[in-house]
Structure 1
Amino acid sequence: MHQYSFFNPSPSKNVPAGSIDALAKSLSDYLATEQVNQVRRAYYYAEQAHEGQNRRSGEPYVTHPLAVATILAEMHMDAQSLMAAMLHDVIEDTSVTKQGLSNQFGDVVAELVDGVSKLTRIEFQSKAEQQAENFQKMALAMAKDIRVILVKLADRLHNMRTLGAMPPDKRRRIARETLEIYAPIAQRLGMHNIRVEFEDLGFMSMHPMRARRIRKSISTRFGNRKKAISSIRENIENCLTEEGHNANVIGREKHLFSIYTKMRNKRKSLKEIMDLYAFRIVVDSVDSCYRVLGCVHGLYKPVPGQFKDYIAIPKANGYQSLHTVLFGLEGVPIEIQIRTQEMEEMANNGIAAHWLYKSNEQEPKRNSSHARARQWVQGLLEMQERAGDSLEFIENVKIDLFPDEVYVFTPRGDIMELPAGATAVDFAYSVHSDIGNSCVACRINRRLAPLSETLQSGQTVEVITTPGAQPNPAWLHFVVTAKARTGIRHYLKHQRKTEALTLGRRMLERALASMDEDLAAIPDKYLNQLVDSTHAKSTDNIYEQIGMGNRVAYLTARQLVNLRDEIRDDDEKLRAPLTRQSMVIHGTEGFLVNFARCCYPIPGDHIVGIISSEKGVVVHCENCHNSIELSSQPERVVPLSWAESIDRDFSVEMKIEITKQRGIIAVLATRVNGADGSIEKISVEDENPKISSIHLIVGVRSRVHLANVMRRIRNIPAVIKVTRERN
């Protein structure tokens, strides 16, 4: 047992609230003198680092980390968490580095601060992506140390308390993010008090008028019902005293956001939502919980089907309590929660209630809130590895963050917890990803049932698997757990990738065979040179791109053969890289080539090819704005040149400004036909009462042919101007 001499931060009895002295005084109740002094030192370090910085409200910036540390102190968090709270913004907002923090306060505190810090050096495409990236980083840090999320929640809570200084649009954005991400995380970690405050503050920022009206109505109704509430509490207390129970009966009030959510989801009026009484009974032992339950059931008749035993089967976040609903006076329902003092602390502060870092224990107790939290974080990491991008990951997290639960049994009698609406496929993936991937059928309570059937609490679920089976894409329409959704998507992506790789290699072999070449006979050094010149990741990546239609097999084969012909060995070493040989366009290629409609290239123009997943190779003029924009992606750009003799027509667009005359279109058509051109499309725009603009798409063989057509058109007396159009 450690003996500590506690430190009184100030000899004065009147310590100002909201100061480091006030915090130190409260910390001395549960931390050693040395640890309190470390927290003080972190405060002065943060004060110096943030010197000259103010919050939007005008206060010195250091008041924010001090308030965050105070929130954690109320939960009796350890000294390292409090130091991280003091320093959580110095990496992001000052010149202090992570290494500097590590030197001053140790690696653990530095890692905590780094985990809480936001990503500031990455350019994001959208606020949603920034939010997702921030949460991904936080998830990784949480895996190393779960205290990261507790510091982050305290940071967000103080920001929400001081949100009034923000402009309305930023206030709503932060409030929405809090309601969507941080409030559910607080609930997942069992931190009821923080979750309720998050929800009410977020609700008041998102919908201030609705919040004010609901609060006013609650105040009015509570005043009218005060006598009835006192009467019910007195009846319950008298009953418990007669039975010899030492219990504390507390009246419960529903918080604003809970009332608003029920009104919106259940489409009920405030009167219907509020027409019930709610009490919490806190006792000294688990045995007393069940005895008190019998006592209140004897006092008031219970409502059938409304009893829930979360002591025998705790919620995922460690919450434990007995819930029951009784018929009260005049049939008004009475909600009762019965729990021990330990369960009460756990319900309010969750994972922080029994913080293991307070003692010398390094491993969490089995089935403790800490173990549950770590299990959830490990699930987050698994989702993160399998998700395609950060936005898909955050979508899965939102699905996973604490819906209502159902409890089902495995054939061996183990309890599995799943969200409401879960199916046998969700159950299979909860057991193991391999079981989910290979499941083909299920038995629910020993009867064969569809995989899409919604599970109910108390059912026994058995999954039937078959080796070689694979997930069905249709499962994505009915699974509800993030783990199942991520597992199915990951398997399907991997399967498509494998199939595309095999198909791409086969297509390249076929394209080379048409040139009397054999892929197996081409040395690896030429394939590696192709990888480098096309900026691909690997040879397999080239095969995969061909198989998925993002690269043309015939063109890749030509590039490979050209590279082999270009590169000559010199003492078994490759000479300096040579320029890429251009591909010749005949206009009658046997593979997919399209001519761009933005610049209408014709023989004689300087051209370049752009690889498109939908259209193969698209031929553009070199000075076309689209080809210039795509030149930053060299792996998609292919050098092209025209063949010496081409016998086909190519479309080109012209704009003709002409004086309005009767029959002028017929004259234009005659001149174009006389020059062996063919009109493909014609449109007329009236610029003013006297002049028209005619857009003409004409088929020509080359630039020389186009010049001849344009000369004939210029010779028409009514023509003012003829130009070739390039969008």
Structure 2
Amino acid sequence: MIPVEDLVARVLAYNPCSDTARLHAAYAYARQAHEGQFRRSGEAYFVHPVAVSALLAEQKLDDATLITALLHDTVEDTTATRDDIVRLFGAEIADLVDGVTKLTNFQLNSTETKQAENFRKLFVAMSKDLRVILVKLFDRLHNMRTIKSLPSEKQVKKARETMDIYAPLAGRMGMQWMRDELEDLSFQVLNPDARRSVLRRMARLRGTAVDEVERIRYDISHEMTNEGIPATVYGRAKRPYSIWRKMGQRDSEETFNRLSDIFGFRVITETRMDCYHALGAIHRRWRAVPGRFKDYISEPKVNGYRSLHTTLLGRDGKRVEVQIRTREMHEVAERGVAAHWSYKDGEPMENPYSVDPGAWVSGLAEYFEAGTDVADFFETVKLEMYADKVFCFTPKGEVIKLPKGATPLDFAFAIHTRIGLACVGARVDGSRVPLWTRLRNGQSVEIITAEGQSPQATWIDIAVTGKAKSAIRRALREAQRDRFIKLGRELVRGAFANVDKKATEKTLMTAARSLGLGSDHEELLSRLGSGEISARAVVTAVYPELAEAEGELVEMRRAVLGLEEGQSWVRGTCCQPVPGERIVGITQPGTGVMVHAIDCPRLADYEDQMDRWIDLHWQPGRHSAAFGVSLEITMSNDAGVLGRVCTLIGEQKANISNVEFCDRKPDFYRAMLEVEVSTVEHLHRVMTALEADTNVAEVRRTRESADGG
């Protein structure tokens, strides 16, 4: 654990005016609050918030951000309250801690509708103060660096969430180094074999390339010296995931044999003019690869990134990738929006190349508040986070930024929704082109409009941007709204009648709210009539218990497929498999077949007895039996918490067959609950309901290990 003196010394090195008394107070308060709590690795829990604060100190962040990092889990995981934080550290810190706590509670890898709503909440929270997401990103970085102590199931869940959400978000915030590291840490969990393959190839190529890398670095440095350009040149190894992704884009692993596959070179200059001077010198000395030059200085990325990118044919015709930028551009490229709150000698650092860190987030928040529905908002955010940009021009020379692969339709809607809706054609660089044409950087686009034009259904497949797709869908719905509402009303009446229920206006309003449409039941009917929402989804939105009631009732004796005639089966107590999980059987002499989950550690005992293995599957349908599973729940030691946990389980139509208390502390306790569920989906619903409760710190399904522990 980093001592408070070391943490304070790191801060004073870049901010001599730091309020060290507040840092000491926050450190002591958080340490006491987390007393007696431990991480999965066995180390004291307080190690984590201190490590997050130290990582932020490396980025030279302000005192408020560092104090938030120290306190970010206190309200969530200890008896501390928001009022306590306000009283001791002020409203600003309390707001930041509250924002981080809310982000922690968002289940970003749940179902798409819920994920989209939580994504909206995330961006609304970020728009209030972007330091919230900075703390959360560094919190995730430290958790990913120490992920090996988690169970394998949880590792995969966290890694996928990191790869899908946090890594792209870090990149969109301008912190490319963090995106690279988060992707590589996730890659190590999600595809360890592929990563090992890349590392082996890297080691093989690196062994023969060390001298060559140094020669290229020397050649570029020598060229800078000859031209009188003050510059620093260095080579850097790429991350395994970055290499793997590039190999996938080429659709061949055999192409992993070039120096540029694992190394890149950077030239750091003093001025913007030096960048172009250096580029000219390099292009005079080496031949440039056509189509591989990008000028992000004259057209910076939206996150503020500026650099010249070029690929050269170096010694022996080998490709060499080079980036050229100033020191100030390099600062923004390395640290992204974190640079906005950086301090030097007690004053905020001024960087002429940094951009407003909240502009993009605020724009998205405003876009949602303008009436865009949850699914469209989610689509827009994903496109904004993942897409590269192309820059095109209007006939008047205005620059329009679009994602890679955008079409003239996207261009039209980017100018104005009214122009997009009236679009009948486009000219690109003076020539008439189809609306599905993919635009390229630097092209001039003229949109042709006509009165009375209305969007076509095929436009949905042509458009790329969320804004265009959303506007097209809205226009199509409005054009046929009356017909769709009438059809939707008939569909929903029949669907509810099939389950002996009535589709009243109040019922439909409840369904609309559940599906993220506010209380607009006519919008629900319109989408139902247009086929965007199924009648079954509407029914189960109001009566979720009916989702399980569908399908044939499966009796216990025929719940498993793949057994021989007359062969009996029993469920393994070691792994407690439930319908929906992959299973195998191990024949037991005289007792039938023992059914195990495919990932049960006990199966290792039978690796040399493959003749006893049987491929089994669960019978599809609704199972009549209840299957017991063991859940370990860590919850706060407050009055009424256990009762609420039992109520939550009951609300999910699950039964508790046994409760055993394992560990009781002043602030929390652990309990083992035997819960009876029907399917793995049912189990997930129970666990999700428990995890959502603010007084439940952790819910974990427990299984017997290979050694019986």
Task: Check whether TM > 0.5.
Answer: yes
Deviation at 1:332, TM superposition (A): 0.8
Q: What TM-score does the superposition give when structure 1 sets the normalisation length? A: 0.64
> Alpha carbons of 1:73 and 1:486: their partners in 2 closer, same or farther (altered >3 Å)?
farther
* Partner residue in 2 for 1:222: 206
* Partner residue in 2 for 1:436: 420
> Alpha carbons of 1:270 and 1:89: their partners in 2 closer, same or farther (altered >3 Å)?
farther
Correspondent of 2:360 among 361, 370, 375: 375
> Alpha carbons of 1:549 and 1:146: their partners in 2 closer, same or farther (altered >3 Å)?
closer
> Alpha carbons of 1:534 and 1:210: their partners in 2 closer, same or farther (altered >3 Å)?
closer
- Asked whether the equivalents of residues 387 and 490 of structure 1 are also in contact (C-alpha less than 8 Å), the reply is no
Correspondent of 2:80 among 90, 96, 102: 96
Distance 1:353 1:501 in 2: 51
Distance 2:109 2:249 in 1: 33
Correspondent of 1:50 among 34, 38, 51: 34
Deviation at 1:294, TM superposition (A): 1.6
Distance 1:491 1:281 in 2: 50
Q: Which runs of 5+ in 1 are unaligned?
A: 1-16, 506-529, 551-611, 619-625, 633-727
Correspondent of 1:171 among 146, 152, 155: 155
Correspondent of 2:256 among 261, 272, 281: 272
* Partner residue in 1 for 2:590: none
Correspondent of 1:308 among 294, 298, 311: 294
Distance 1:533 1:70 in 2: 52
- 1:81-480 alignment runs, 5 A limit: 81-118=65-102, 126=110, 131-269=115-253, 272=256, 274-276=258-260, 278-355=264-341, 369-371=354-356, 373-383=358-368, 386-389=371-374, 393-466=377-450, 469-480=453-464
Distance 2:140 2:106 in 1: 22
- Asked whether the equivalents of residues 403 and 420 of structure 1 are also in contact (C-alpha less than 8 Å), the reply is yes
Distance 1:297 1:353 in 2: 32
- 1:616-627 alignment runs, 5 A limit: none
- Asked whether the equivalents of residues 115 and 141 of structure 1 are also in contact (C-alpha less than 8 Å), the reply is yes
Q: Which runs of 5+ in 2 are unaligned?
A: 490-503, 514-518, 547-709
Distance 1:320 1:407 in 2: 15
Distance 1:472 1:369 in 2: 41
Q: Is the partner of 1:473 in helix, strand or coil?
A: coil
Q: Is the partner of 1:455 in helix, strand or coil?
A: coil
Distance 1:357 1:438 in 2: 50
- Asked whether the equivalents of residues 309 and 321 of structure 1 are also in contact (C-alpha less than 8 Å), the reply is yes
Deviations 1:235-256 (A, max 9, x none): 2222221222211110121211
- 1:542-691 alignment runs, 5 A limit: none
- Asked whether the equivalents of residues 284 and 341 of structure 1 are also in contact (C-alpha less than 8 Å), the reply is yes
Distance 1:629 1:156 in 2: 36
User: Alignment RMSD, CA only?
Assistant: 3.8
* Partner residue in 2 for 1:14: none
Deviation at 1:534, TM superposition (A): 9.0
Instruction: Answer with 113-122 or 130-139: which moved more.
Output: 113-122
Distance 1:546 1:281 in 2: 59
Distance 1:197 1:156 in 2: 11
Q: Is the partner of 2:324 in helix, strand or coil?
A: strand
Deviation at 1:494, TM superposition (A): 5.1
> Alpha carbons of 1:257 and 1:467: their partners in 2 closer, same or farther (altered >3 Å)?
same
Q: Is the partner of 1:464 in helix, strand or coil?
A: strand
Q: Is the partner of 1:371 in helix, strand or coil?
A: coil
Aligned residues: 519
Deviation at 1:360, TM superposition (A): 12
Matched-pair identity in %:
39
* Partner residue in 2 for 1:675: none
If you compute each CA radius of gyration, which structure gives the higher value, 1 or 2?
A: 1
Instruction: Answer with 54-63 or 40-49: which moved more.
Output: 40-49
Deviation at 1:546, TM superposition (A): 7.8
- Asked whether the equivalents of residues 229 and 278 of structure 2 are also in contact (C-alpha less than 8 Å), the reply is yes
Deviation at 1:408, TM superposition (A): 0.9
Distance 1:223 1:533 in 2: 68
Distance 2:466 2:333 in 1: 25
Amino acid in structure 2 at the alignment position of 1:279: F
Q: Is the partner of 1:237 in helix, strand or coil?
A: helix
> Alpha carbons of 1:274 and 1:168: their partners in 2 closer, same or farther (altered >3 Å)?
farther
Deviation at 1:478, TM superposition (A): 2.0
Q: Is the partner of 1:323 in helix, strand or coil?
A: strand
Amino acid in structure 2 at the alignment position of 1:60: A
Instruction: Answer with 77-86 or 465-474: which moved more.
Output: 465-474
Deviations 1:144-183 (A, max 9, x none): 1122221111111011101001111211111111111111
Amino acid in structure 2 at the alignment position of 1:344: H
> Alpha carbons of 1:438 and 1:59: their partners in 2 closer, same or farther (altered >3 Å)?
farther
> Alpha carbons of 1:238 and 1:141: their partners in 2 closer, same or farther (altered >3 Å)?
same
Deviations 1:429-449 (A, max 9, x none): 222334333333222123332
- Asked whether the equivalents of residues 332 and 353 of structure 2 are also in contact (C-alpha less than 8 Å), the reply is no
Amino acid in structure 2 at the alignment position of 1:343: M
